[in-house]
Amino acid sequence: MTDHSQAMTAKYRQDYRAPLYWIDSIDLDFQLQEPLTQVTAISRLRRNGEHNEPLVLDGEGLSLHSVRVDGVPFTQYEQGESSLTLFNLPAECVLTIVTLLDPAANTALEGLYKSGDAYCTQCEAEGFRRITYYLDRPDILARYSTRITADKSQFPFLLSNGNKVDSGDLGDGRHFVQWQDPFPKPSYLFALVAGDFDVERSHYTTKSGRKVALEIFVDKGNLDRAGFAMESLINSMRWDEQRFGLEYDLDIYMIVAVDFFNMGAMENKGLNIFNSKFVLANPATATDSDYHGIERVIGHEYFHNWTGNRVTCRDWFQLSLKEGLTVFRDQEFSSDLGSRGVNRINNVRTVRGPQFAEDAGPMAHPIRPDVVIEMNNFYTLTVYEKGSEVIRMLHTLLGEAAFQAGMRLYFERFDGQAVTCDDFVQAMEDASGVDLGRFRRWYSQSGTPELTVTDEYDAESGVYRLHVSQHTPPTQDQPQKLPLHIPLDIELYDEQGAVIPLQYQGKAIGNVLDLLEAEQTFVFDRVAVKPVPSLLRDFSAPVKLHFDYSDEALAFLMRHARNEFARWDAAQMLINKAVIEGVARVQHGQGVELSQTLLAAFVAILDDGELDPALKAEILALPGEATLAELFEVADIDAIHQVRNEIHTSLAHAFGARLTATYESLRLPAYQVVHADMAKRALKGVVLGYLAALDAGSADLLVRHQYATADNMTDTLAALQVANSHLLPCRSELLADFEGKWAKDGLVLDNWLRLVGSKPAEDVLEEVKQAMAHPTFSIRNPNRLRALVASFAMNNQVQFHARDGRGYRFLTDLLIELNEVNPQVASRLITPLIQFKRLDEGRKALIRTELTRLANLEGLARDLFEKVSKALQQ
């Protein structure tokens, strides 16, 4: 269901105007029935001030049945492509609009649609206008009541936001439920679900004594996979009370898991709707990282109840107000419950890899964008992940106590309102007294700042200087850049690894330096020996750092840095250096050579008996090829792949017999989802990969054995991944076995689809096409599609970028089909085709041809139009 009438016009942040009318309440009535669902919306309207302007309501793809004003049929309206304009309305009135919808035909999964047999909704950002004509903007806060009527045997559960206030049988096999949400809310938080489910029930008593019923709705037969989600929900509720002092505010909290969903989950008030991927888990079906994902997303949506729902966004340009802040909160939640170091590493991987790539591409935008064509295109890594880094910098600059004071002031001022990012920063500034003047530029400036640091040591005077300069290269959206306020967290070490106190002329200096100018020098005295600096500790700002470290200095930091993140980061820098040198050598027909310092440093990590195995696994896992590509102006895809593999093999040889010993030492008794065991499994997986690089023959046996004896999905999948990435003899047999076992279970089969898509061999596209014919595969299901296609297009660099362009052609053909089916998902999958800045001219030309093919497509959806046209402007 795509209508091709959507306007391609851009909207600008600066054009914000307060609404001309307010809507104080809306009563919705849904008659769910085949073929068409009937929706009656009764809104109480109030003109905002004195004017004669008409009321312009938003609507997309709706069939209008009737309009009444104060109960009387009304005809003074005009229907546009995506609007309904009503003239000469009284200053206050009751508007009744009846629309007809066809949810079963809605494959875009926005508005009211069917996921399997159940009805469900997705309204953020602008999906409510696909249900009824409305002022579909987040600054319209209304009280909702929702009455749902449907067949009782097919749809025993009828759910919406707030509290259930009435229900009953209607005699004809149909029943109804009436819901009332006491909290005024924007339309994007509206939700409705109707279906038949199994329900996992529990409850939580808040610190002030409110007893909250907790209900998780899953497809029939999946109850044995709902327990961990419930545990995560309870942990989230407790954590938000303890760390932020925030309590839940309704008597019921519901989560519904559905199979057809465009993103991870949605924070609708009191009724979250989740992609089943982020709810369902048991040891047989879910990996450790699936468990982490569930905990994170359950937390994220729960935390939105305050940061997003109680205080929401004035307009969609302010999206990071709720998303950056809520990602920060979910990261802190995961870090407080699990390993802070490992969480930080994984978050930084996302920023340095895909977020930096976004900055370097045609969709570059500030965390608070200035211009948008399709809002769904701005649920980006920049708004979310960089947005969270900006909140984290505030936290670093203010400290926990002042940051929490800022949060309290923010809620005191703005609870129940729709506000802006400026309002948030103002609250932080007022509560802390810290001048955030220059810091505000992080909201308006796009791109990745680069810090260049040099140092200078004078042995005679004991003075050490750090010269720091900052520069943000131009981005496609913004040629001019200004200096930013960058917190630079540092530490200095002497030769033994002892910390050198930071001071100057008798005054102590904190670890976080305030970089405000384009160039600044920081001076320290009483430094007895030339120190090794640890810079940008914990990734204290989302920037690229340039400092001319020697291999020895990095090896030293890998061993001595006090902070887990800094040790990992030093290892990354050491590998990056080796990759840059290796690629140059390979391009000159030479082989890769690694320094003894590097090899010894990595061996020492494997040998380190004190180190958390989870951190070991992170240090030993080499950066991915896409992240490595970011190190180059022009990335030589094939050389990067070759060099990375050779580094992996050389490390495997340096580790030698330690690998088998380590592997054996990591065997565990029965599976448990606890950090200590997850850490060991992670390391075991990485070690198995090195064993395969060392000796494919014996690894084949080991992999078969691990696959055959695993009592959990993590070990099973680790075996399959190694078989796949090293093309071990057992690969096809094990993959076939796995496919046979899980053929009917989409979520588990996604693992198989990912393996197929990432096969490092020339025939991968044939296997991908065969997998598309699998009975469980459907291009209508975003999870299936992403598993197969994103693994090919984003994680199989050499094959996707094959020089004959077949990868590009395949993806474009698919996007053309998806443009009709689900433009939002198409718009996510196009990413590797628009980020071509670092490719060579030959590949760029091939990609342009495909993008031009898309640009000329009749009925190109707005989502793709925005990205394709920007990409072609590059």
* Vertex 273: Cα angle to 267 and 279 (nearest 5): 105
At closest approach, how far in Å is the CB of 799 from ligand B3K?
30
Decide whether 27 or 323 has the Cβ nearer to Zn ion.
Answer: 323
Three-state DSSP class for residue 265: strand
Q: Which of 27, 259, 267, 863 binds ligand B3K (CB under 6 A)?
A: 267
At closest approach, how far in Å is the CB of 563 from ligand B3K?
30
At closest approach, how far in Å is the CB of 109 from ligand B3K?
10
Q: Nearest CA to 220 among 268, 259, 253, 181?
A: 259
**Residue 481 contacts which entry, Zn ion, ligand B3K, none (Cβ below 5-8 A, type-dependent):** none
**Residue 376 contacts which entry, Zn ion, ligand B3K, none (Cβ below 5-8 A, type-dependent):** ligand B3K
DSSP letters, 605-625, are HHH-SSS-HHHHHHHHSPPPH
648 binds ligand B3K (CB under 6 A): no
3-class DSSP string for 477-506: CECCCCCCCEEEECEEECCCCCEECCEECC
Decide whether 301 or 359 has the Cβ nearer to ligand B3K.
Answer: 301
CA distance 133 to 40: 10
Decide whether 265 or 488 has the Cβ nearer to ligand B3K.
Answer: 265
Q: Which of 125, 372, 543, 818 binds ligand B3K (CB under 6 A)?
A: 125
Decide whether 380 or 426 has the Cβ nearer to ligand B3K.
Answer: 380
User: What burial class does residue 525 get, using C-beta atoms within 10 Å of its C-beta: 0-12 exposed, 13-18 middle, 19+ buried?
Assistant: middle
- Residue in 301, 374, 429, 618 annotated catalytic: 301
Decide whether 419 or 617 has the Cβ nearer to Zn ion.
Answer: 419
At closest approach, how far in Å is the CB of 264 from Zn ion?
8
Decide whether 185 or 759 has the Cβ nearer to ligand B3K.
Answer: 185
258 binds ligand B3K (CB under 6 A): no
Sheet holding 450-458, edge to edge: 519-524, 463-471, 450-458, 544-547
At closest approach, how far in Å is the CB of 137 from ligand B3K?
15
**Residue 219 contacts which entry, Zn ion, ligand B3K, none (Cβ below 5-8 A, type-dependent):** none
Segment interacting with ligand B3K, rule: CB under 6 A, options 2-10, 262-270, 391-399, 537-545: 262-270
At closest approach, how far in Å is the CB of 304 from ligand B3K?
6
**Residue 55 contacts which entry, ligand B3K, Zn ion, none (Cβ below 5-8 A, type-dependent):** none
Decide whether 146 or 307 has the Cβ nearer to Zn ion.
Answer: 307
User: Residue 180 is encoded by which pair of tokens?
Assistant: 């009332």
CB atoms inside a 10 Å sphere around CB 450: 14
Please, which residues have CB within 8 angstroms of residue 194's CB and are 6 or more apart in sequence? 32, 118, 119, 120, 148, 150, 155, 157, 158, 159
Sheet holding 72-73, edge to edge: 72-73, 63-69, 92-101, 37-47, 21-31, 142-151, 174-185, 163-169
CA distance 201 to 203: 7
User: Residue 752 is encoded by which pair of tokens?
Assistant: 């198989």
293 binds ligand B3K (CB under 6 A): no
CA distance 275 to 739: 22
Q: Between residue 528 and residue 587, which ones bind ligand B3K under the rule CB under 6 A?
A: none
Instruction: Work out the angle between the directed axes of helices 613-620 and 675-694 (0-180°, nearest 10).
Output: 30
301 labelled catalytic: yes
Q: Between residue 315 and residue 344, which ones bind Zn ion under the rule CB under 5 A?
A: 323, 326
Among all chains, which residue has been given the structure tokens 């590493």?
A: 345
Half-sphere exposure (Cβ direction) of 641: Cα atoms closer than 13 Å? 14
At closest approach, how far in Å is the CB of 236 from ligand B3K?
13
At closest approach, how far in Å is the CB of 29 from ligand B3K?
26
Binding string, residues 363-382; x marks residues near ligand B3K by CB under 6 A: -------------x--x---
At closest approach, how far in Å is the CB of 749 from Zn ion?
27
630 binds ligand B3K (CB under 6 A): no
Contact 201, 234 (CB under 8 A): no
Q: What single DSSP character describes residue 354?
A: I
Decide whether 274 or 655 has the Cβ nearer to ligand B3K.
Answer: 274
Q: Which of 252, 263, 761, 855 binds ligand B3K (CB under 6 A)?
A: 263
Q: Between residue 763 and residue 792, which ones bind Zn ion under the rule CB under 5 A?
A: none
At closest approach, how far in Å is the CB of 803 from ligand B3K?
35
Q: Nearest CA to 391 among 347, 361, 354?
A: 347
Contact 318, 369 (CB under 8 A): no
300 binds ligand B3K (CB under 6 A): yes
Decide whether 269 or 304 has the Cβ nearer to ligand B3K.
Answer: 304
Among all chains, which residue has been given the structure tokens 């940061």?
A: 307
Q: Between residue 797 and residue 816, which ones bind ligand B3K under the rule CB under 6 A?
A: none
User: Residue 357 is encoded by which pair of tokens?
Assistant: 């790539």
User: What burial class does residue 14 get, using C-beta atoms within 10 Å of its C-beta: 0-12 exposed, 13-18 middle, 19+ buried?
Assistant: exposed
Decide whether 323 or 866 has the Cβ nearer to Zn ion.
Answer: 323
Decide whether 323 or 538 has the Cβ nearer to Zn ion.
Answer: 323
CA distance 680 to 715: 11
Decide whether 273 or 578 has the Cβ nearer to ligand B3K.
Answer: 273
Residues facing 22 on adjacent strands: 46
Decide whether 302 or 752 has the Cβ nearer to ligand B3K.
Answer: 302
Please, which residues have CB within 8 angstroms of residue 28's CB and are 6 or more apart in sequence? 39, 40, 41, 42, 132, 144, 145, 146, 147, 190
Segment interacting with ligand B3K, rule: CB under 6 A, options 44-52, 261-269, 286-294, 655-663: 261-269
Binding string, residues 28-57; x marks residues near Zn ion by CB under 5 A: ------------------------------
124 binds ligand B3K (CB under 6 A): yes
- Report CA 253 to chain centroid distance, whole Å: 23
Binding string, residues 716-755; x marks residues near Zn ion by CB under 5 A: ----------------------------------------
Q: Where are the beta strands (DSSP E) in 209-300?
A: 211-218, 252-258, 265-266, 271-275
Peptide bond into 35 cis (omega under 30): yes
At closest approach, how far in Å is the CB of 332 from ligand B3K?
16
Peptide bond into 802 cis (omega under 30): no
Q: What are φ and ψ of residue 702, in 5° steps?
A: -65, -40
In terms of DSSP bridges, do strands 118-122 and 111-115 run parallel, antiparallel, or are they unpaired?
Answer: antiparallel
User: Residue 339 is encoded by which pair of tokens?
Assistant: 């390993």
At closest approach, how far in Å is the CB of 301 from ligand B3K?
5
User: What burial class does residue 633 get, using C-beta atoms within 10 Å of its C-beta: 0-12 exposed, 13-18 middle, 19+ buried?
Assistant: exposed
| First and final C-alpha spacing in the chain | 31
Segment interacting with ligand B3K, rule: CB under 6 A, options 227-235, 264-272, 334-342, 730-738: 264-272
Give the count of residues interacting with ligand B3K (CB under 6 A): 12
Q: Between residue 227 and residue 286, which ones bind Zn ion under the rule CB under 5 A?
A: none
Write down how long the chain is.
874
At closest approach, how far in Å is the CB of 266 from ligand B3K?
5
Instruction: Work out the angle between the directed axes of helices 340-350 and 613-620 (0-180°, nearest 10).
Output: 20
CA distance 135 to 128: 9
Q: Which of 266, 527, 659, 723 binds ligand B3K (CB under 6 A)?
A: 266
323 binds ligand B3K (CB under 6 A): yes
Q: What are φ and ψ of residue 328, in 5° steps?
A: -55, -45
User: Residue 290 is encoded by which pair of tokens?
Assistant: 């699936």
Site of interaction with Zn ion (CB under 5 A): 323, 326
Active site residues: 301
Site of interaction with ligand B3K (CB under 6 A): 124-125, 263, 265-267, 300-301, 304, 323, 376, 379
